[in-house]
Amino acid sequence: MLSAAINKFKSKEAVIGIVGLGYVGLPLMLRYNSIGYCVLGIDIDPVKVSKLNRGESYIEHIPCASVASARESGFSATTDFSRVAECDALILCVPTPLNKYREPDMSFVINTTDALKPYLRAGQIVSLESTTYPGTTEEELLPRVQEGGLKVGEDIFLVYSPEREDPGNPNFETRTIPKVIGGHTPTCLEVGIALYEQAIDQVVPVSSTKAAEMTKLLENIHRAVNIGLVNEMKTVADRMGIDIFEVVDAAATKPFGFTPYYPGPGLGGHCIPIDPFYLTWKAREYGLHTRFIELSGEVNQAMPEYVLGKLMDGLNDSGKALKGSRILVLGIAYKKNVDDMRESPSVEIMELIEAKGGVVAYSDPHVPMFPHMREHHFELNSEPLTSENLASFDAVVLATDHDKFDYALIESASKLIVDSRGKYRVPAPHIIRA
C-alpha cells in the first residue's frame, strides 16, 4: 500500500481532492492543476462551486483566467462529498475561527472530517492544513479516520501540513513557500512528502503532527508578540512626542539582532489575531498560563479603541463631537493591496464609530461592496475618492494603506486625517498619528 501510494503521486496519476476552496485551497488547487494532476474541489458553499465551474474567481488576486484554464484542463468543483472516494489525497483547508469566548471553534474541521468518513478508502492520504492547536490531528482526525476499520499508517495515511499563504505578496507563491509536514507514523510522513514534493519546491519534514501544528503557531505568535510590542511602544512614543515610525526605521538600520515591525490599528487576517489563542487554550490543559502571549493579544486588541480615541481627540480640537459627525474609513481589508476582510481591525473601528453615534462610511478600491460576514455587516458601498467627497466628511481614518489610494489628494482635500499606518511622515495641523 505504501509504495503504491507513493508511486501514484510521483507519476501524477493520483487525483487530488481539495476540501475548502478559499484563500488557501484555491491557490493549492491551481498549483496541482498546473503541474498535471487531476484536481477535484469540494466545498459546502454552492455559490463558490458554481462560480468555479463557470471558470470564475471570487478572490481578487486570483484571476478568472487562471480558474478558467484549470477548468479546461480537468478541474471541477462539487458540493457532493460522496466524490471523496474518487480522490487519492484529501487536503483539508477549512476555517478554524474562535468562538465568542475566544476558544477554538473546531466545528469546521470536525464536521468536514465527519462528512468525509463514509467515503474514505484504503490507499488515501488525509492532510489537514488548517491552523490549530497541537494534538488536533491525533485527537480529532485520527479516531474519525479509523472509525470505519482503516488502520492509519497501513491502509490510510494521515498528516498535518500547515498552510502558508501571504495574499498580496508578489515575492512568494504556493510553489516557493517551504512546506512543513508531520505524519502520524513514519509511513504517513513518507506518503505526505510524496504528495507535497511534487508541487512545492522545498518540503520540511518534522517528527510528528504535533510538532508541525506547533510550528505554525510559533510562526504566527512570533509576529503577534512583536506587533504587540511595537503597538505598545507606539503609545509610549506618542505620549513622549516621538515619532515611532522614525524610531523603527532608525532601529532597522542595525544589520543584526533586530527585525522591524510597524504599528497599526490592530491585527487582521485569519492567522495572527486568532492562532495565539489556540495555544493559550491548549496550554491550560497542561496547567500552564501563557502570560506573555496573552498580554500581546490584549495590547493588539486595544488598538481599534486607541484609534477611536485619537479620532475623538481630533474632532474635539475642531469643536466637534463624534456623535453626528461623518467619518470615512479608508481601507477595510485587513492588509494593503488585498480584498481579504477576515478579522479586519477596520471593521471594528467602524463599529466603534457607529456605537458612539458617528455616521460611518468607507472607501476601499479592493472591496467595492461591504461583504456579508459571520459577525459584522454594514449596508455600504465603497465611496469614491474625489476632492468634493473627501471634503464632505468631518474626518477620514486611514486604516489600511492600499497603494491605489491617492494620498496627495486625501491630504489636500480632507478636513482631518487620523493616520494609523504612518503614511504621512511630514507633520501637518490636520493630520493626527494613531
- C-alpha to C-alpha distance for 231 and 243, rounded to whole angstroms: 12
Least confident stretch, 39-43, 98-102, 155-159, 255-259: 98-102
271 catalytic residue (yes or no): yes
Reply yes or no on whether the pLDDT at 98 is more than 90. no
**pLDDT value, residue 301:** 93
pTM attached to this predicted model: 0.91
Residues in the chain: 434
Domains defined for the chain, CATH in brackets: 2-207 (3.40.50.720), 217-299 (1.10.1040.10), 302-433 (3.40.50.720)
Mean pLDDT over residues 8-29, rounded?
Answer: 96
**What sign has the CA pseudo-torsion 111, 115, 80, 60?**
positive
Question: Per the residue annotation, which of 38, 87, 93, 271 is the catalytic one?
Answer: 271
CB 425 within 8 A of CB 245: yes
Q: What is the DSSP letter of 60?
A: T
Reply yes or no on whether the pLDDT at 312 is more than 90. yes
Mean pLDDT over residues 93-111, rounded?
Answer: 91
C-alpha cell at 288: 500552564
Reply yes or no on whether the pLDDT at 272 is more than 80. no
**pLDDT value, residue 88:** 97
**pLDDT value, residue 328:** 98
Span 177-192, pLDDT tens digits: 999 999 999 999 999 9
**pLDDT value, residue 28:** 96
Q: Which residues of 24-47 are buried (b: 16+ CB within 10 A; e: fewer)?
A: bbbbbbbbbbbeebbbbbbbbeee
Reply yes or no on whether the pLDDT at 14 is more than 80. yes
- What distances in angstroms separate CA 14 from CA 71, 79, 123, 162, 187, one per listed residue? 17, 20, 11, 21, 18
**pLDDT value, residue 380:** 96
**pLDDT value, residue 1:** 79
Span 343-363, pLDDT tens digits: 899 999 999 999 999 999 999
Reply yes or no on whether the pLDDT at 50 is more than 80. yes
Mean pLDDT over residues 273-285, rounded?
Answer: 88
**pLDDT value, residue 368:** 95
